Structures are given as structure tokens and as C-alpha cells.
Structure 1
Amino acid sequence: MNKQVVSDGTLGKSLDILDSVVGFGRAVRFSEVLEISPYPKATLHRIMQSLTSQGMLAYDEERHVYVPGMRLVRTARHAWNQSSLAPLAAPFLDTLASDVGETVHLAQMENGRVVFIDKRTPENGFKTMAVAGRRAPAHCTGVGKAMLAFMDEKRRAQALENQLYEPFTPATHTTPGTLLKELDAIRAGGVAYDREEHEQGIVSIAAPIFDGYRRVIGSLSIVTSTMRMAPDALEHFRPALLRTTAQIGTEAAVWPFPAAQ
């Protein structure tokens, strides 16, 4: 066991275990889940059996491995269609990526962590590692800082408590003070930048997406490499970026998407 977690009883433990199994990204043996689980072997086995009987996990008796069950797949598909901005934003991402000729990232936030929801890479665009479902820190990404800056104070305070301030590059914020100062500037300027803060050589310009109540429900970024473009040149993309976030926000106004938190 490698960590301690606080769970809401059996339900919380079950969700933690589902996250662990799905997080492997492949079929996984019980022993592998046990190795990273904070729960005793008997507890883990009992809950995984229950999840299997409920269709949330499936067990392959020949290979002795677990995979996500079809009930989980169905639930995830419905949840994706209702809470993810990806289906609604798809045509706007297509247009933006085509217009700017660079990769576009769509993101939402959960518990202070960026969750990449979708991306578009034009034929000659810079290829990035982001994929739908991948998580990233908020304190050092353009999409993360764009959401943090425009959250209400309560949600922002909660999200900031979850930042670890890992120093990914020499440009990364490593203290709340420097980050908060930049968030003030982002609110004043309307857009956020990633100036090689998460990965050296990668830069972006990002803007928040608001719902009809001016709540932040996501963010959008245009991403490129310093080999292709000087960081200051990203400002050229501001009009197209802001136009697209406004279009997505208008479409999202009729549906209660979850606020960034």
C-alpha cells in the first residue's frame, strides 16, 4: 500500500478502486491493484467482487484480469454526453484549429486538476501529448490558470489548496504568491499564457469558457512549440481564441455544465 485516502465509506472506497483499475489503461491483475491500493487485501477483494457483480468491472477468468465493465462504459458514455463540453464544442474546435494552424486543447477542471476533454491538431500543427481524460496541474498550464483566474473566490481557494507547485521547469510557479499575482494579471487581461511552465519548449495562450451565469465551466488553449513561434507571437491568436470561447459559452448556456472546481 502506498498512500492513505479519506473515503466516504464503502461508496468512497468503491470509487477509489474504480479509479485505480481504470487508471491502468489496460487489463489489470488483482495483485497490481493491491500493490497501489491503500486498502487491506480482504477489503479490496470484497469490493472488487461487488463491482464485478454489478457490472462496473468485468473479470476475465482465463487471463485472471479485470477491465471496466459494460455498465461502467454505459454510465460513462451518458455522463460524457451530459457533463463534458467536448460534444458541444467539437465544431468550434475544428474551425479554430483550421484557422490558426496550431493544436487546440479543450479542458475542464476537477478538484484543482486540469482534465483534458478534447483536442484538435491540424495536419501541420504541433503534436502534443494531451489526450482526452489526461490530467495535468493547474498552476503551470494555460488552461488551468485561465480557469483559476476567473473562478469565484471560494472555488479558487479550494482549487489552490490542491496545487502541489511541482517545479516542472525553471519557469514554473513554486509558491502561491507568484501564482496569485499572475492570476490577477490574467483577470485584467482576459487570457492566460503557459510560458514553458509545464514542459520546456511548449507554450500556449488560453481563455476561460463561461456559462450563462458567468461561471467558469472550462477553458480553451492554442498550443505550439518555441521552435515554431516566439511566445510573444501567441498574442496574434487572441481574437480567434476569444471568439471561439464565446461561441462555446453561448452554446453551453442552455445546459447546466459543472463549474470548474
Structure 2
Amino acid sequence: MGGPWLYQLFDATQETVDLSTLAGEEVLFLDRFLSDQPSRAVPEIGLTYPAYSMTNGKALLACLSDCDVRSLFGNAQLRQLTPKTLPCVSALLTQLATIRAGDFAYDIEEHKMGTCAIGMPLPARQGQLLSVSIVMPASRFEESWEHVEATLRALRVATAVIDRS
């Protein structure tokens, strides 16, 4: 489903790359390339995570209005998956505003300790919201984030050109 650009992201970063959409309050993975490095972030089959706790979920939620996000999660505390999970909807909305303004979405050990990711929303296809994320062990995040962001910026430019044509 992701096509050659998904592989190109994997090839450029050598990290796990996910293409996702929303399924209610959770992230649904549509396509993926798994890192072949000895130390890698490998998602557990069958587990689901709330969208607010993951990079790809935050990127997808940024495509919704604040009102729609509140209708999904209410105004109460968010369920904590790790000590770093966002605590409440207002903190989530603050992050979503920065993503909407053109920043990347981040998961710094929010859905699982030891795992970090950077991602962004993609242009919707046939009405389906899409996002891409590049996932890595926390031990490589500091050394990799600038390269990952540069790789995602190149994809952002390419998808903008394709959308205009």
C-alpha cells in the first residue's frame, strides 16, 4: 500500500517505517518495513495503542479538529502506558497544534519504554487519513533524529509536489 516511497524511507534510515490510519481512538497499521538492525523497534503483533501515545497517532489526530479529538478522549486524564505518556487532553492538544503548524509528531517512550519515533501526517487518500512514522530504539534517537527529520522533510516536499500535479 505504501509503495516505493515507504521503502525509500526505510532505506534512508535503516529504521522501522510504519504507514498508519485511525481506527476510532487507536492506530491501525497498514504497511511497514521492519529495521534489519540487531537492535530495533519491533511492534508486537496484535497489540493496539491509543492514538495519543504514538507518533503516527498524534500525526493522524492533528488532522482532526480539537472538538473531534475531545469527542474521542473527553477532557479527563489519559491512560498512562509509561511514565512519559501525555497526562491529559490539554497536553495532547498543545502537541497537535505544533504538528498542525508544520512540526513533526514525536513519541519519546510514550507508548513503550525504550522506543522513540518521529512522524508526520500525509495527504489523505480517498478520504482516508494517513501518517508515516520512523521508529527506533531510544538508544539511537539522539544520534538519529536530525537525519530522520531531514528524510521526512524530503518526503513532505515530494508529497506536496505530487498533490499539486
Normalised to the residue count of structure 1, the TM-score between the two structures is 0.54
Structure 1, residues 101-138: CA drift from partner, whole Å, max 9, x if none?
Answer: 1110111002121111111024327241255x753211
Give the structure, 1 or 2, with the largest relative contact order (CA under 8 Å, sep 6 or more).
2
Deviating beyond 4 angstroms after TM superposition, the runs of 4 or more aligned structure 1 residues are: 245-253
Maintained 8 Å contact 2:41/2:135? no
Counterpart-to-counterpart distance in 2, 1:174 and 1:119? 29
SS at match of 2:113: coil
Higher gyration radius (CA): 1
1:128 to 8, 24, 42: 42
Maintained 8 Å contact 1:150/1:216? no
Q: CA RMSD in A?
A: 3.2
Maintained 8 Å contact 2:122/2:130? yes
Structure 1, unmatched stretches of 5+, are 1-86, 254-261
Structure 1, residues 139-197: CA drift from partner, whole Å, max 9, x if none?
Answer: 11001111112323453333334997211111111211221122222223421100110
Maintained 8 Å contact 2:74/2:89? no
User: Following TM superposition, by how much is the alpha carbon of 1:227 offset from its aligned partner in structure 2, in angstroms?
Assistant: 1.9
Structure 2, unmatched stretches of 5+, are none
Maintained 8 Å contact 1:112/1:163? no
SS at match of 1:135: coil
SS at match of 1:168: coil
- Equivalences for residues 117-196 of structure 1 within 5 A: 117-124=30-37, 126-131=40-45, 135-161=48-74, 165-196=78-109
- Greater per-residue helix proportion: 1
Change (3 A) 1:120 1:245: farther
2:145 to 216, 220, 234: 234
Counterpart-to-counterpart distance in 2, 1:189 and 1:252? 17
- Greater per-residue strand proportion: 2
Change (3 A) 1:161 1:243: farther
User: Following TM superposition, by how much is the alpha carbon of 1:243 offset from its aligned partner in structure 2, in angstroms?
Assistant: 3.1
Change (3 A) 1:183 1:127: closer
Identity %: 28
Change (3 A) 1:252 1:162: farther
In the alignment, structure 1 residue 219 sits paired with structure 2 residue 131: yes
